[in-house]
């Protein structure tokens, strides 16, 4: 009996590709890290605002992930990744509801991204917004606004069309997630109006947060979660994908650190003392600044992207607060909207594709910068217009803002309970 005969008697066994299993595991673990970011956003928002808002803030963030999960599962994922599309929106109704997508791990990963976009809005309008109207906005954001925006890039939409200067790049969502959420946050903060006591005789007054230690812990959680946010966007593990994902995580950390240093130094220079709340926003700015280009940036490029982001967020917060006179309770519009735009544009300045420069300053010409600028303008216009329509409808029907009396203790008024034992009315 020869060897061929012997092997023929052995039952065939299907051998799975280990890279496929590792890719699924990598995406799942990354999604779990992004899910944990919800806790970070909760702590940041609670720490940066009054203690009498703690229950309301917790309930909004629970709503973002729970209602956002269901609405994105029902409609959002299919609207974002439907197979039949004209480049702007899906055209086949059968692609819409309960779309199974590329697998459960992908649907889960994209879901937690969607919830992040909604949560950004929560922070800007903290302390004075009706819970019911916020819930309705979250549904629209997670079911329609964000998914359509995501499809323009991540589902081979019009931002990758032949008429573009070159293909638009947003690896993990500086524009798609953060700018969309940030511009919506700015519109919401403008329409709901400032918190009581924020402006006295037309001048902005600092309303201290209740617990900056909680805010600091929240930012560290966000920093940790961002490794999954950006690294998981490689969507694969094994071989070259492992190397690429590792570099994504590395440059993400570099940019976050640079953002912290940028904000720390500029506040030290401007105010005479290094400012904690601004430095925390600098860390978030550094993370947002690298999110679009984390797959197309050298460590040096990431450093400068984050450093500029950290400086930019300080000036942006001051401009929105003092010039535009819009009360953004946590600086969300600046850290996510303004810096999200910067993080998208910077690819066109010194981004790379492998060993080749694609930016204006490293030999790539102006095509990439042109494509990035088109994307920034498109996402800014889309988020601003759609969120204005939704907020306007809510304001003229159900109302956006609680009464003055309710605002004094929002937790009691909206939820009938307090976040901390002790006085029922807090500073």
Please state at what angle helix 240-271 crosses helix 299-318, rounded to 10 degrees: 40
Print pLDDT tens along the chain (427 aa): 555 555 455 555 444 566 788 999 999 999 999 999 999 999 999 999 999 999 999 999 999 999 999 999 999 999 999 988 889 999 888 889 999 988 999 999 999 999 999 999 999 999 999 999 999 999 999 999 999 999 999 999 999 999 999 999 999 999 999 999 999 999 999 999 999 999 999 999 999 999 999 999 999 999 999 999 999 999 999 999 999 999 999 999 999 999 999 999 999 999 999 999 999 999 999 999 999 999 999 999 999 999 999 999 999 999 999 999 999 999 999 999 999 999 999 999 999 999 999 999 999 999 999 999 999 999 999 999 999 999 999 999 999 999 999 999 999 999 999 988 765 444 4
How far is 103 from 109, CA to CA, in rounded Å? Answer: 10
Q: Is this structure's pTM higher than 0.75?
A: yes
Say how many C-beta atoms besides its own lie within 10 A of residue 104's C-beta. 12
Which tokens belong to 19? 């890279």
> What pLDDT is stored for residue 94 in this prediction?
86
Phi, psi of 234 (to 5 degrees): -65, -30
> What pLDDT is stored for residue 21 in this prediction?
87
How far is 419 from 51, CA to CA, in rounded Å? Answer: 7
> What pLDDT is stored for residue 422 in this prediction?
61
Domains of the chain and CATH, by start: 21-410 (1.10.3430.10)
Which tokens belong to 236? 């694969």
> What pLDDT is stored for residue 175 in this prediction?
98
> What pLDDT is stored for residue 13 in this prediction?
45
Q: Residue 401 pairs with which residues in a beta bridge?
A: 129
> What pLDDT is stored for residue 3 in this prediction?
52
């Amino acid at each position: 009996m020869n060897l061929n005969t012997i092997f023929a008697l052995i039952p065939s066994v299907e051998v799975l590709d280990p890279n496929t299993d590792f890719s699924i595991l990598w995406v799942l673990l990354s999604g779990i890290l992004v899910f944990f970011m919800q806790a970070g956003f909760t702590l940041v928002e609670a720490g940066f605002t009054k203690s009498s808002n703690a229950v309301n803030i917790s309930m909004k963030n629970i709503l973002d992930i729970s209602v956002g999960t269901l609405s994105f599962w029902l409609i959002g994922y299919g609207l974002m990744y439907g197979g039949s599309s004209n480049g702007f929106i899906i055209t086949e109704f059968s692609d819409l509801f309960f779309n199974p997508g590329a697998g459960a791990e992908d649907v889960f990963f994209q879901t937690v991204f969607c919830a992040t976009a909604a949560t950004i809005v929560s922070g800007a309008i903290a302390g004075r917004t009706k819970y019911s109207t916020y819930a309705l906005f979250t549904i629209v954001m997670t079911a329609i606004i964000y998914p359509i925006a995501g499809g323009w890039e991540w589902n081979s939409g019009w931002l990758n069309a032949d008429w573009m200067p070159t293909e638009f790049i947003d690896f993990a969502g500086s524009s798609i997630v953060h700018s969309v959420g940030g511009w919506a946050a700015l519109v919401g903060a403008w329409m709901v109006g400032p918190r009581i006591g924020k402006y006295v005789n037309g001048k902005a007054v600092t309303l201290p947060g209740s617990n900056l230690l909680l805010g600091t812990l929240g930012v560290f959680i966000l920093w940790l979660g961002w490794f999954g946010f950006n690294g998981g966007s490689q969507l694969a593990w094994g071989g070259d994908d492992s190397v690429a994902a590792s570099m994504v995580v590395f440059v993400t950390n570099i940019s976050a650190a640079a953002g912290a240093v940028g904000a720390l130094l500029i506040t030290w220079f401007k105010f005479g003392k290094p400012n904690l709340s601004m430095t925390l926003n600098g860390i978030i700015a550094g993370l947002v600044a690298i999110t679009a280009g984390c797959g197309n940036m050298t460590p040096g490029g990431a450093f400068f992207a984050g450093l500029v982001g950290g400086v930019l967020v300080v000036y942006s917060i001051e401009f929105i607060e003092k010039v535009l006179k819009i009360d953004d309770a946590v600086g969300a519009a600046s850290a996510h909207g303004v810096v999200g735009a910067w993080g998208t544009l910077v690819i066109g300045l010194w981004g790379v594709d492998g060993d080749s420069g694609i930016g204006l300053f490293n030999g790539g010409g102006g095509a990439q910068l042109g494509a990035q600028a088109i994307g920034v303008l498109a996402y800014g216009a889309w988020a601003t217009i759609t969120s204005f329509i939704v907020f306007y409808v809510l304001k003229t029907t159900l109302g956006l803002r609680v009464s003055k009396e309710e605002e004094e203790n929002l937790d009691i008024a909206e939820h009938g309970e307090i976040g901390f034992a002790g006085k029922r009315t807090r500073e």
